[in-house]
Amino acid sequence: MRISHKSRLTTLVGAAALIAASLSFVPANAAAVGPLCDGKVPVQTCQGTTSDGAPYVMMVPANFNGMVALYSHGYRYNIDIPAGIPVVGGYKITNTPEPVPGGNPTVANYFLGNGMAIMGSGFSRQGWNLDAAVATNVELIDTFKKKFTTTTKVVAWGSSLGGIITQTLAEKNPTLVSAVAPLCMADNIDAQLAMAGDFLWGLKTFFDPTIKGGNYSAGALGNAEALGDIVKVLTVMGKLQAAVATGAWPDTSSPAGKQLQAAGIPSRSALLLAGLMAGIPTQSAHFDSISGPEGALKLSFPLAVSPALAVLENGANAAILAILATQDVELQAGGSVFDNTATDYSARVSDSRDVFNAGLSGNTALEAMLGVLKASPRAKATADFSKLAATTGKINVPTVYMTGVADPITPAGATQRILDKYSVQFEAEKEAAKKASYNGGTYTPAKSKVLTLWSVTPKSWTTFDAAGSPKTSAAAAPGTNHCNFTTANYLTAAKFMVEGATNGSITWNAAAMSAVRKSKGLLVDPNFRAPLLKFYGE
């Protein structure tokens, strides 16, 4: 767990900066090229493209010890987003390789300063690219080994979509990697799109029936429809935010929504219901659903208002990704993919209706809103996207998970699903070890291959100004937002992954516990269990 060769770290800062600065000449959409290496010391940079046209970068220290870390970046939008679009405007499609999370030089220096190489691909296409990305990574590992023939071990890690890419790589190609670390891992695409689709459909049903929410056209028209939906969703969110205190409904609300307004049900209650039925966390970057301002709202704010504000804060970013991911997968599948014709939204909130009863304005209001959902036209899928790659949950090598307990994009339940499957696998391995010892055989206890680092929230974090209004300008609380990890968190996960590759297992002892505590914001708790995504009907 210790960093060696500390004296080299300062020297390598400049080398790590090449991650962002030296990737200009790699051609896109070309046949396999390279690796073309600059031969520099103490770190040489190599670039090229795989046979599918995916650009890659490798950084190899002069004292290469045989271990290379392969990083897979997260979801990137697959269409340009004009500057005029709020929140995400000005985005341009990029396939720039990312050999460490966000090009973090400290993380790069940990590997390079300890004799390990790093590499990553920009992938051949953006959007949901799980199957293609796994194939690219398999080829990239082979390319690296052929160029650097002293390679002995490959570790793989990735964030968000890169997390499930890493998980799938280890499941399908266990002999290629010695240890992996899926971070803030996405779930399978059917579960992710159910979450996204439920929330978008809820916004459409209550607040703006002109939101398309899926079944987008092909080509430029479909791009325009998706971008139009982003504007509509953000416009609705803005109106809901402005009306949190009054409960007024947006002027774009559906006839059924306006009837709910006439019945005295505040718009924030319908927003909260849309979040709960989709599985959007009720804790967010600035809202803990626990704290209230001093005065008359001390108790009512956390019960009746804060959960809706958390859904508002989480939902804005989640909805944007949902729209563009839905459009992307529809193009791959050849038709609409969201289907809620058989979804029972009453069942979806059965476990939360009592907890959030005040925020939902009571049982009578809740039943009225559920009645609107039940009576509203449903969306029906016309395409089958089951052909897209998916994880099975099989753990073959030492695996480190790290995820935020209130991540609104890739909920902690995505990781929990794998952990549930592994608990069954591990019990079977322990039983097999016992049976092997029967009739004079040697008993070798099965060792767990998994360590889970939960990025947890503080006890409370919502703050208020002198007028009692919540402050939203501070940095997001740990455990909230998407892949909201510190450099220390990334280093902790990386070190455990390297240990797993080096020793064949991850030791959980006093030193490991101390390392996690020093990282701050992380917790290892075998008794903690995150709820699965709503898709699984738990």
Which pLDDT band holds residue 440 (cuts at 50, 70, 90)?
confident
Torsion, Cα 354 201 482 102, to 10 degrees, reads 170
Question: What is the per-residue pLDDT across 164-193, written as a single tens digit (0 to 9) for each?
Answer: 999 999 999 999 999 999 999 999 999 999
Rounded to an integer, the average pLDDT of 65-79 is 96
What pLDDT score does 30 carry? Answer: 53
Residue 179 identity (one-letter amino acid): A
φ and ψ of 91, to 5 deg: -80, 135
Question: What is the per-residue pLDDT across 489-522, written as a single tens digit (0 to 9) for each?
Answer: 999 999 999 999 999 999 999 999 999 999 999 9
Angle between helices 219-242 and 306-333 (to 10 degrees): 170
CB atoms within 10 A of CB 286: 22
Strand order in the sheet with 399-404: 33-37, 43-49, 55-61, 117-121, 67-72, 153-159, 179-183, 399-404, 450-455, 522-523
- Computed over every residue of the chain, the mean pLDDT equals 92
Place of tokens 């859904």: 311
Which pLDDT band holds residue 23 (cuts at 50, 70, 90)?
very low
Q: For residues 71 and 100, is the Cβ–Cβ distance under 8 A? A: yes
Contacts of 427 (CB under 8 A, 6+ apart): none
Question: What is the per-residue pLDDT across 272-290, written as a single tens digit (0 to 9) for each?
Answer: 999 999 999 999 999 999 9
What is the token pair recorded at 413? 């339940």
φ and ψ of 366, to 5 deg: -60, -45
Torsion, Cα 340 342 346 348, to 10 degrees, reads -60
Task: Flag the least confident range among 109-113, 364-368, 504-508.
Answer: 504-508
CB atoms within 10 A of CB 153: 16
Question: What is the per-residue pLDDT across 218-256, written as a single tens digit (0 to 9) for each?
Answer: 999 999 999 999 999 999 999 999 999 999 999 999 999
What is the token pair recorded at 412? 């902690």
Contacts of 100 (CB under 8 A, 6+ apart): 16, 19, 69, 71, 107, 108, 111, 118, 120
Q: For residues 183 and 453, is the Cβ–Cβ distance under 8 A? A: no
What pLDDT score does 15 carry? Answer: 43
Q: For residues 185 and 403, is the Cβ–Cβ distance under 8 A? A: yes
Half-sphere exposure of 126 (CA within 13 A, CB side): 19
**Per-residue pLDDT for 18 more than 60?**
no
**Per-residue pLDDT for 1 more than 70?**
no
Which pLDDT band holds residue 388 (cuts at 50, 70, 90)?
confident
What pLDDT score does 441 carry? Answer: 80
Residue 335 identity (one-letter amino acid): G
**Can you give the residue ranges of every domain in the chain?**
1-127+134-151, 155-186+397-538, 190-375
What is the token pair recorded at 314? 């989480």
Nearest residue to 121 (alpha-carbon basis) of 157, 95, 158: 95
What span, in angstroms and rounded, lies between the C-alpha atoms of 96 and 76? 11
Residue 204 identity (one-letter amino acid): K
**Per-residue pLDDT for 11 more than 70?**
no
**Per-residue pLDDT for 321 more than 90?**
no
